[in-house]
Amino acid sequence: MKRERLQHNFSEWFSGILRSADIMETRYPVKGLFVWLPHGLKLRNSVFAIMRGLLEQSGHQEVLFPQLIPENIFRKEAEHIRGFEGQVYWVTHGGRDKLDVKLALRPTSETSIYPMFALWIRSHADLPIKIYQIVNIFRYETKMTKPMIRLREVTTFKEAHTAHAKSEEAEAQVLEAVNIYKRFFDELGVPYVVTKRPPWDTFAGAKYSIAFDTLAPDGRALQIGTVHNLEQNFARVYGLKYEALGGKQHYVYQTCYGVSERVIAAVMMAHGDDVGLCLPPHIAPIQVVIVPIPFKDREVPVEQIATAIKNELAAAGLRVHLDERDLRPGNKFYYWERRGVPLRLEVGPEDVKKEQVTAVRRDTGEKQAIPRGVLKTKVKQLLEGVTGDLRERAWNLFHASIKEAPDTETIKRVIQKRGGIVRAPWCGGKACGEALKEQTGWDLLGEEFDGRAPAGACPICSKRAKVSVLIARTY
């Protein structure tokens, strides 16, 4: 399967496929805002259903907070504000009246949620709190906007927020969140690295941030999720206190973590090819498409049989579509291939005669005849195979794009030449981190999380390396 065009002109491929695969309308007349189309919205919903399941299973409860935050409350946490100041849209008027207190359109919801936490938390018994919401947020992004990837209205912001009695519990929560995200991306077959972001790239108001990055086909790293330990920063500002057993008041410890529709872009990139999308079956809005191949001069009930097959597969719980349009089969094939439908079943006169169906896998193009008698079982098997193979292929490509480099010249050159991620030894010092960024000209993703103990010396200070640092060109 060809991925050349994706590599060389990823941007063009991506915007082309958004429209032709019925994912997004990109001509909405406000910069950074886009329209979800039916097929795209179904894909989005099934991806976020997985996330919902993972969060619910691990004791998170869904809430829904208002979108507007009063300026005075929004401005309380100094660091947070410094980070978001330049990105906030303000509501200043209600009708013709100027508002007494300006209202921020949430760029994220810490400052909307935590004042309510302050009302809810009284004693130790009220903790922990683990909530999440899937909402839209607004960020006045100044870098180039891109559908799903850098939006001014993020339509699908999944944010979770937690509060704990003890520092260690917040630490444990960070690990739980990292594991939830790992499972999420594994389910989607989206490969990733996990790093602890350097201080200059830490979420505004957090003690530290852990981030997931994948690679776009053009070799640039894309941050697809973050987990933050907020420690007591927000708790102190918003007065989130609980009474411990002895009657003493304590500030809570907090974490938050989020992903957005960027993960949908990551799914499209991880599995797509020259033709278009290639979707993992469990999230594909249509898993199986049936294309009848009628034969004019013969009296074979192709359509009738195709309908029977459709009903049989639908009854088995598969998302199946019968394409009865008056189009040439070849056009239909291409149409569904572009949309990434994992499996096509063709029913032609030959198939009818032999009581079989011809199955074609979207990912490999592999064709095979399936006897009608074992259709259900065989189709399910094939789909499972596709899921596994897509994941494996994506991870193989990803691993091949991670290179080791011992010194700044090599780091610089490797990324310049082929993009991807470079793993280098690092003493872990902030100054050396900054120098690495300066001298290579690329971005530090950060210290590799649960990475292998590195061999070698820090390329800057020559001290023995304590950790591995990952470096890439980023989006």
Contact residues for ligand P5A, defined by CB under 6 A: 108, 139, 141, 150-151, 154, 159, 203, 223-226, 228, 256-260, 262
The b/e string for 137-176 (b: 16+ C-beta within 10 A; e otherwise) is bbbebeeebbbbbbbbbbbbbbbbbbbbbeeebbeebbeb
Which of Zn ion, ligand P5A, none sits in contact with 10, Cβ below 5 to 8 A by type?
Answer: none
Query: Which one, 159 or 346, has the nearer CB to ligand P5A?
Result: 159
Residues in the chain: 475
With beta carbons less than 8 A apart as the criterion, state whether 370 and 360 touch: no
Q: How far apart are CA 386 and CA 1, in angstroms?
A: 14
Please state the closest distance from residue 270 (CB atom) to ligand P5A, in A.
Answer: 15
Among residues 37 and 314, whose Cβ is nearest to ligand P5A?
Answer: 37
CB of 31 to ligand P5A, least distance (A): 12
Gap between the Cα atoms of 238 and 394, Å rounded:
44
In the complex, the smallest distance separating the C-beta of residue 226 from ligand P5A, rounded to whole angstroms, is 4
Min. distance of Cβ 415 from Zn ion in angstroms? 19
- In 3-state terms, what secondary structure has residue 82? helix
Which of residues 37 and 461 has its CB atom nearest to Zn ion in the complex? Answer: 461
Q: Measured from the CB atom, is 117 or 335 closer to ligand P5A? A: 117
| DSSP line for 29-69 | SSTT--EE-HHHHHHHHHHHHHHHHHHHHTT-EE----SEE
Looking at the Cβ atoms of 240 and 467, the one nearer to Zn ion is 467
Which does residue 358 touch among Zn ion, ligand P5A, none (CB within 5 to 8 A, set by kind)? none
Which of Zn ion, ligand P5A, none is residue 461 near (CB under 5 to 8 Å by kind)?
Answer: Zn ion
Nearest-approach distance from CB 165 to ligand P5A, in angstroms: 21
The least distance separating ligand P5A from the CB of residue 101, rounded to whole angstroms, comes to: 23
Residue 162 near which of Zn ion, ligand P5A, none (CB within 5-8 Å, type-dependent): none
Q: Are 118 and 163 in contact (CB under 8 A)?
A: no
Cα separations (Å) of 56 from 92, 114, 128, 438?
Answer: 37, 21, 15, 43
In whole angstroms, how close is the CB of 407 to Zn ion at the nearest point? Answer: 12
Residue 432 contacts which entry, ligand P5A, Zn ion, none (Cβ below 5-8 A, type-dependent): Zn ion
Q: Is 31 exposed, middle or buried (0-12, 13-18, 19+ CB in 10 A)?
A: exposed
Q: What proportions of the chain, in percent to the nearest 5, are helix, strand and coil?
A: 40, 30, 35
* From Zn ion, ligand P5A, none, interface partner of 141 (C-beta below 5 to 8 A by class): ligand P5A
Q: How far is CA 269 from the centre of its chain?
A: 11
**Cβ closest to ligand P5A, residue 150 vs residue 164:** 150
Nearer to Zn ion, 10 or 426 (CB): 426
Could you count the other beta carbons within 10 Å of the beta carbon of residue 5?
Answer: 15
Q: Which is nearer to ligand P5A, 159 or 273 (CB)?
A: 159
> Measured in Å, how far apart are the chain's first and last C-alpha atoms?
26
| CB closer to ligand P5A, 117 vs 257 | 257
User: Can you point out the beta strands (E) in 237-366?
Assistant: 241-243, 249-251, 253-259, 288-292, 320-322, 343-347, 356-361
- Identify what 352 binds: Zn ion, ligand P5A, none; CB under 5 to 8 Å per kind: none
193 contact, one of Zn ion, ligand P5A, none, CB 5-8 Å limit per kind: none
Task: Give the C-alpha separation, 181 to 187, whole Å.
Answer: 10
Provide the token pair at 32: 């950074």
Please give the angle made by the CA atoms of 276, 278 and 281, to the nearest 5 degrees: 155
The helix/strand/coil state of 165 is: coil
Peptide bond into 128 cis (omega under 30): yes
259 binds, among ligand P5A, Zn ion, none (CB under 5 to 8 A by kind): ligand P5A
Q: Which does 460 bind (CB under 5 to 8 A by kind): ligand P5A, Zn ion, none?
A: Zn ion
- 238 contacts 117 by C-beta, under 8 angstroms: yes
User: Across-strand partners of 91?
Assistant: 103
Residue nearest to ligand P5A (CB): 258
For the CB of residue 351, give the shortest distance to ligand P5A in the complex, in Å. 45
Smallest distance from the beta carbon of 55 to ligand P5A, in angstroms? Answer: 12
Shortest CB 239 distance to Zn ion, Å:
40
Q: Which parts of this chain interact with Zn ion (CB under 5 A)?
A: 427, 429, 432, 458, 460-461
In the bound state with ligand P5A, the residue whose beta carbon lies nearer, of 236 and 413, is 236
